[in-house]
Chains A and B, each alone.
Chain A
Amino acid sequence: MELIDKMFSGDQIALARLITILENQSQSVPEIMKAIYPHIGNAYLLGITGPPGGGKSTLVDELTSIIRRKGLTVGIVAVDPTSPFSGGALLGDRVRMQKHYLDDGVFIRSMATRGSFGGLTNAAKCVIRLLDAFGKDIIIVETVGVGQTELDIIKAVDTVLVVLVPEAGDTIQTMKAGLMEIADIFVVNKADREGAKQMAGELRTMLNDSQKQTYWQVPVMETQANNGIGIDELYAEIEHHRDVLLQTGNLSVRRRRQRESELAEIVERRIKDKIVERIRKEGKFSVLVKKIADGEIDPYSASNEIFSDKEVLRDCFL
């Protein structure tokens, strides 16, 4: 594919076009992934998640400045939710990242969740791989930490920052949203506001009670992203996490686990797509759906019918 060669030669237009192809989950995704896979694994992947308005994009902007000063290049994937009503999306993360627009060492791409089951997760992972193959040293993924999709993307990175702000109820929300389990570093941003110290303290207590790994105690950092305060310390902590992962061999363990679920997802999706397409074509799907709706059969028995249909299985898998 000509685009791939161009991308490898450093062409940003080709890179951007390939991202579009991956994002649209077009037919040529396998071809692209095959071509780029030998070139991946060199980038360090950083995920930033948390509730909307917490200052994630501002933090990404500040961290990017630090990384650039160290002479490393950055790829940014900023994900925002698709409106379930219109299918459109407002992608506004760039507003906070203006100072990097003209830096050739920074590539920013905004993506919408587009709402298809696992669709974005898969597309975003492909885009991360592509930026890695393109040669970016550090890839930062920003998502709004509310939905399963967003959490799934974040699970595909090396270091996860969960960004919270000192507002009532946040602490409890955190536990609920499952953000607790995925955080490698907690950030209490907007530390200029009242309640930040207290919130950081509460988080620390909670984390002490539930240390999840023997090799890493999740730290709580306080930042003021819009004033650039606490960012150097935060970046040092990110580097520290990376070093610990490397020294303990846990980086490769973690990445191996990610590859494992990636393969499982691809296989699952292919099986599902094939079977659903096959039974839809025949009208069998709608017959079963009607039976379920009419209360004649339950969904589990209906799926048994599909999986015991030798013809369907043969058409799909042989």
Chain B
Amino acid sequence: MSERDVPIRVLVAKPGLDGHDRGAKVVVKALRDAGMEVIYTGLHQNVDQIVATAIQEDVDVIGLSILNGVHIPISKKLLKKLKEKGVEDKTIIVGGLIPTEEDFEKLKEIGIDGVFPTSTPFDTIVAFIKEKVG
């Protein structure tokens, strides 16, 4: 893997309706401190907004922060939309409360590159992104 000399660009998006983004903001800071450029868009993003942002910002990574147990439908929808728009070169990761091992496996199955339950140390996420993109 060649060492790139420009920062990795990451979009951290918070889809769905849950009311706070403390978790997402902590991740944003951790990624920034690891030398990444993190685009943060605030709460309540729908999939169309996430896709439009990912395109305009030409990010390397899309990270979804999801707490309310709707990972699978949202992830499916995101992947479908990206494909429709002809965007297939992004690394997609999902973080948050992943209720069961089954969900975890399912997310990988549908094409999510990395799945990180809330307990994951940030170093693990950073290392994963650097390995994938760096």
A residues within 8 Å of B by Cβ? 12-13, 16-17, 19-20, 23-24, 82-83, 85-92, 94-95, 98, 101-102, 107-110, 112, 114
**One of B36, B55, B85 near A88 (C-beta < 8 A):** B36
CB of B87 within 8 Å of the partner chain: yes
Q: How far is the CB of A16 from chain B (nearest CB, A)?
A: 4
Check A89 against B85 for contact (C-beta < 8 Å).
Answer: no
Check B52 against A13 for contact (C-beta < 8 Å).
Answer: no
A94 to B87, CA, bound (A): 21
Check A109 against B6 for contact (C-beta < 8 Å).
Answer: no
- What is the predominant secondary structure among interface residues of chain A facing chain B? mixed
Check B37 against A13 for contact (C-beta < 8 Å).
Answer: no
Which of chain B's residues have a CB closer than 8 A to the CB of A112?
A: 7, 37
**One of A87, A94, A107 near B7 (C-beta < 8 A):** A87
Known: A95-B40, A101-B49, A102-B48. A89 touches B56 (CB 8 A): no
Check B42 against A94 for contact (C-beta < 8 Å).
Answer: yes
Which residue on B lies nearest to A87, using beta carbons? B35
Check A88 against B57 for contact (C-beta < 8 Å).
Answer: no
Which B1-52 residues have a C-beta within 8 angstroms of A? 6-7, 28-29, 31-42, 45, 48-49, 52
CB of B121 within 8 Å of the partner chain: no
- What is the predominant secondary structure among interface residues of chain B facing chain A? mixed
Check B34 against A94 for contact (C-beta < 8 Å).
Answer: no
Q: Can you report 12 A-B residue pairs in the complex whose CB atoms are below 8 A from each other?
A: A17-B58, A83-B32, A87-B35, A88-B33, A89-B32, A90-B29, A91-B38, A94-B53, A98-B49, A101-B49, A101-B53, A108-B56
Which of chain A's residues have a CB closer than 8 A to the CB of B85?
A: 13
Which of chain B's residues have a CB closer than 8 A to the CB of A83?
A: 32-33
Pairs A-B, 8 closest by C-beta atoms: A88-B32, A95-B42, A16-B58, A101-B49, A87-B35, A88-B35, A20-B58, A91-B39
Most buried by B among A13, A83, A101, A109: A101
A130 to B32, CA, bound (A): 27
A34 to B33, CA, bound (A): 37
Which of chain A's residues have a CB closer than 8 A to the CB of B34?
A: 86, 88
Known: A86-B33, A88-B32, A88-B34. A12 touches B40 (CB 8 A): no
Check B7 against A91 for contact (C-beta < 8 Å).
Answer: no
Which residue on A lies nearest to B33, using beta carbons? A86
Check B52 against A101 for contact (C-beta < 8 Å).
Answer: yes
CB of B73 within 8 Å of the partner chain: no
Check A107 against B29 for contact (C-beta < 8 Å).
Answer: no
Which B66-112 residues have a C-beta within 8 angstroms of A? 85-87
A271 to B72, CA, bound (A): 55
Which residue on B lies nearest to A94, using beta carbons? B41
Which of chain B's residues have a CB closer than 8 A to the CB of A17?
A: 58
Check B36 against A13 for contact (C-beta < 8 Å).
Answer: no
A272 to B48, CA, bound (A): 45
Known: A94-B41, A98-B42, A102-B49. A109 touches B29 (CB 8 A): no
Which of chain B's residues have a CB closer than 8 A to the CB of A13?
A: 55, 85-87
Q: How far is the CB of A17 from chain B (nearest CB, A)?
A: 6
Q: How far is the CB of A4 from chain B (nearest CB, A)?
A: 15
Q: How far is the CB of B91 from chain A (nearest CB, A)?
A: 15
Q: How far is the CB of B39 from chain A (nearest CB, A)?
A: 5
Beyond A19-B58, A110-B57, 11 additional contacts (C-beta under 8 Å) are A13-B55, A82-B7, A89-B32, A89-B37, A89-B38, A92-B39, A102-B49, A107-B56, A108-B56, A108-B57, A112-B37
Check B38 against A88 for contact (C-beta < 8 Å).
Answer: yes
Check A12 against B56 for contact (C-beta < 8 Å).
Answer: yes
Which of chain A's residues have a CB closer than 8 A to the CB of B7?
A: 82, 87-89, 112, 114
**One of A20, A92, A101, A109 near B40 (C-beta < 8 A):** A92
Q: How far is the CB of B8 from chain A (nearest CB, A)?
A: 9
